[in-house]
Structure 1
Amino acid sequence: MEKIHLYHTNDVHSHLEQWPRIQQFLKQKREQHIQANEEVFLFDIGDFIDRWHPLTDATMGRENIHLLNESQYTAITIGNNEGVNLPHVALNHLYDNAQFDVLLANFYHKNGEVPEWAQPYKIYQTKAGTKLGVIGLTANFSHLYDLLGWKCTDPFTELKKWIVHLKEQADIIILLSHLGLPDDERMADEFPELDVILGAHTHHMFEKGKLSNHSLIGAAGKFGYYVGHITLDVNQQKTIQNKKAVLYDFESLPIVENEIEQIQLFLESGKKMLQSKVTTLDKPLESSLFQATEFSQLLCKAVREWSGTDCAMINAGLLLGPLSGDVTEYDLLSICPHPINPSVVELTGEELAKILAESMNETLHHRQIKGLGFRGTVLGVFVYDGIQFHSGSIFVNNKKLDSTKTYTLALPDMFTFGHFFKEILLHKQKKYLLPEFLRDILKWKLQN
């Protein structure tokens, strides 16, 4: 009976404070399995990078790739943080020095060619001759990828196409899926040929995996809190006799000598790279969650000017601190770390009035947000530019709101994904302005 070990991480999001311990654990496990003459493969299922971390932001993710190289990963697929949150050129060169395979079956240049740094799938052969077909798929944010100069396609259509080749060439089929749990379960139902699905994107976790149809789904949560491990027992006919999954809690992993120093070095190295001066302020810019300040109004004005709209709206919680004196790139990252872009939507005056009324709900101001690119705590109050309130009436650029007129509103893209103002915004056409984040627009405003 051949024993094959699959270790997997996902959605680390540059939480490198966990990395020294994870790296040591993976190295020890690899050596242990090799000594026992057992096969070992190591996969990351996307969103390993996140530009909130200064080392990631300063190097556009390239230092994260160096960390994966050091840990001898076999293959990875990309998540939306690699794909959507990097400019085209940065993603196109992210894996220039990768010593692992990038498996990505539903991602192309706009002309339909597969990027040089990726391949749809790969066949890995063990010493006993068992062939593992491994394929990668990422979430289909087709519209955003199109704006960035890429073509992302439907993962189900692509898997239907490639599964034919995998069945012909492989004894065991493994999917690296940055699609989210609902799609993983649908994959298991529609493609019983999948022996293992390693999941990501929705930050779900299964302590002992989840058997769905014929597929064993493994998932390791988020932020490096867990490392996944799947063991396959394969007989001489190259058929899986047994498969089981387990998660290792980060807290249970052996402490690394000097790990605090290593974690601090990650931060300080990135901070050092981001010391170029943006501007010098004559007076401090203060932030506040629950009242509009000169700083939050400045950012809102910048978003409107950048977007070229009639008006703009942001939430004060986007600014995590003040600025004063000499302002560096690192300062902007620290107070505005979100991978959030501006977006534009066209609204009638009646629709705009409804959104503004909803934005004044104090319950919404205190709402804690996790995900959607937001890296703060609570939303905070909403701040407006080009919008005035007088005597119970709304004015846009000092003209009373016309309920039948069409207005353009700029706002952070997080409000357009169906979680806020959904009665109005959910079915509206949105225009996303990529690749600049809000902090890039803030930098532009401060320098001008």
Structure 2
Amino acid sequence: MKRTIYVYHTNDVHSHFEYWPKISHFLWEQRQKHEKRNETMLLFDIGDFIDRFHPITEATRGKANVDLLNELHYDAVTIGNNEGITLDYNELDTLYENARFPVLVANLFKKDGTRPSWAHPYCIIPVSDTFRVGVIGATAYFTKSYELLGWKVATPFEILGDIAAEVKKQADLVILLSHLGINDDEKIAQTIPEIDIILGGHTHHLFPEGKRVHDTLLCAAGKYGKFVGIVKLEIEESDHTYEALATVVDVEGFPDSEKMRRTLALLEKQSLQKLESEQVAELKEDLPLQWFSPSPLAKLLASALREWCEAEIGMVNAGVLLEPLYKGTVTRKDLHRICPHPINPCKVQLRGAELKEIILQANTERMKYLEFKGFGFRGKVMGQMVYDGVELEMETGKDGYEHIRRITINGEPLNPDQLYDVATIDMFAIGHFYPQIQRAPKKEYYMPEFLRDVLAWKLADRK
């Protein structure tokens, strides 16, 4: 007897809810269609469904996101780094307390080596009396970040082989929900033959028709919910064989679910009201902001980082601040609006010669006007590097541009051989912008606080 299974998957939505009413309408429509045809429908999310750049996620710490997944009857999810390392321990530990689906993450543990009560390595879904689907979950292994937050995360290659073999004994088809990225997915496909299908994410890749690596089918649906992935499985139950066809659909032209649109509008209104009710400070004067010249708000953030990290120098790009702050009451809503990024403070030890290279590079027009996305940055442009504890003496060159003539650190000339503790942001420590920071052997990350939390602390302290 033949049976048809449709597997739908989303990944890396990152709280981009602009497409969610369309996804909702599409998936509800498909569910009704499959029920009429007596076809099985499975629905999975591959992680990074939450992102604290959005006020709904910020105000509810992701719990509203879980409610949205509940409404569409997801069968299982795994977590991404936005669930895993942008919430504090208790927030993640309680994130899924109202979830009506299993959370699958085989490589996450508490510090004592046991699994959290809400996380399971896999689940078995009986599609019929004779055919069962095994589903495993795995997430990106940001080992140090999880450790700082009170968790342990294992590399998937340590454990997935044994788990896949265990699941294969109980299931006819094994699916991996992988928030590991395309390179790890391909490696798993090459080394763990028990896994039949990998639904991928994390690196925001898109496979319009899937990709075969050995006998494993890799699937992925891009980012932000613009695409929904579909795997059509034609099952021959008599001998437990199957054929798989992978596609994606672009939801942009689909109609909205009006009910979901209203739900999101109400959630956003309530979330903004909650953030606005949390008062941080009372400003006696405006704090102006400029991206490409010195300004008080950017200078204040550099100073706050230096104090927070107990460093000799504070260093941050002005582009992480999106708007100025004005005289009067400052609330959590204001700080989230002007600094929405999931970026943490970081302290790095650099030699004077390395610090000089960074300062010179940061002063170039190319770096100031660099437009980019990623590494937690949710802004538009890098902007000028702003310092606390660093003084730059400038001169105008023959080319008409200002050039750095002299660098002093806390009143003393920069010593190329001296080690300096520099407070900055983790975006520079994990990104490729400044190799000197990325490859520095001594780094200290400060979690779970984001830049806006450090700014709130500094503003409150100024009272």
TM-score by length of 1: 0.97
Alpha-carbon contact 1:136-1:177 (below 8 Å) kept: yes
2:324 aligned partner: 322
Paired residue type of 2:296 = E
**Per-residue Cα deviation, 1:369-423 (whole angstroms, up to 9, x for no partner):** 1110000011011000011123722211112222222110011110111411114
- SS of equivalent to 2:95: coil
Tell me, in whole angstroms, the C-alpha distance in 2 between the residues paired with 1:369 and 1:240: 46
Tell me, yes or no, if structure 1 residue 400 matches structure 2 residue 401. no
1:205 aligned partner: 206
2:68 aligned partner: 67
**Per-residue Cα deviation, 1:253-310 (whole angstroms, up to 9, x for no partner):** 2233376544433321210111121112111112221112001000110010000000
| Cα gap change, 1:97 to 1:410, in 2 (>3 Å) | same
1:51 aligned partner: 52
Tell me, yes or no, if structure 1 residue 295 matches structure 2 residue 297. yes
Structure 1 segments unaligned to the other structure (5+ residues): none
2:430 aligned partner: 417
Q: Which moved more, 1:286-295 or 1:67-76?
A: 286-295
1:341 aligned partner: 344
- SS of equivalent to 1:243: strand
- SS of equivalent to 1:346: strand
Paired residue type of 1:367 = L
**Per-residue Cα deviation, 1:175-195 (whole angstroms, up to 9, x for no partner):** 000001111111111112221
Tell me, in whole angstroms, the C-alpha distance in 2 between the residues paired with 1:427 and 1:385: 20
1:435 aligned partner: 448
- SS of equivalent to 1:151: strand
Structure 2 segments unaligned to the other structure (5+ residues): 395-404
Runs of 4+ in 1 over 6 A off after TM superposition: none
Tell me, in whole angstroms, the C-alpha distance in 1 between the residues paired with 2:59 and 2:437: 38
Paired residue type of 1:209 = G
**Per-residue Cα deviation, 1:196-234 (whole angstroms, up to 9, x for no partner):** 100000001111111221111111111110111111111
2:402 aligned partner: none
| Cα gap change, 1:49 to 1:37, in 2 (>3 Å) | same
Alpha-carbon contact 2:304-2:455 (below 8 Å) kept: yes
Tell me, in whole angstroms, the C-alpha distance in 2 between the residues paired with 1:419 and 1:176: 28
Task: Give 1:361's match in structure 2, choosing from 356, 361, 364.
Answer: 364
Alpha-carbon contact 2:19-2:252 (below 8 Å) kept: no
Tell me, yes or no, if structure 1 residue 112 matches structure 2 residue 113. yes
- SS of equivalent to 2:252: helix
Alpha-carbon contact 1:137-1:176 (below 8 Å) kept: yes
Tell me, in whole angstroms, the C-alpha distance in 2 between the residues paired with 1:218 and 1:258: 30
Q: How does 1:39-438 map to 2 (within 5 A)?
A: 39-237=40-238, 239-257=240-258, 261-275=262-276, 276-324=278-326, 325-390=328-393, 392-423=405-436, 425-438=438-451
Paired residue type of 1:236 = E
Q: How many pairs are equivalent? A: 448
| Cα gap change, 1:259 to 1:235, in 2 (>3 Å) | closer
Alpha-carbon contact 2:350-2:440 (below 8 Å) kept: no
Tell me, in whole angstroms, the C-alpha distance in 1 between the residues paired with 2:149 and 2:459: 25
- SS of equivalent to 1:298: helix
Tell me, in whole angstroms, the C-alpha distance in 2 between the residues paired with 1:299 and 1:250: 40
- Percent identity of equivalent pairs: 45
TM-score by length of 2: 0.94
Paired residue type of 2:304 = A
1:24 aligned partner: 25
RMSD value, Cα? 1.4
**Per-residue Cα deviation, 1:325-370 (whole angstroms, up to 9, x for no partner):** 2111111000000000010111111221111111111101111111
Alpha-carbon contact 1:13-1:49 (below 8 Å) kept: yes
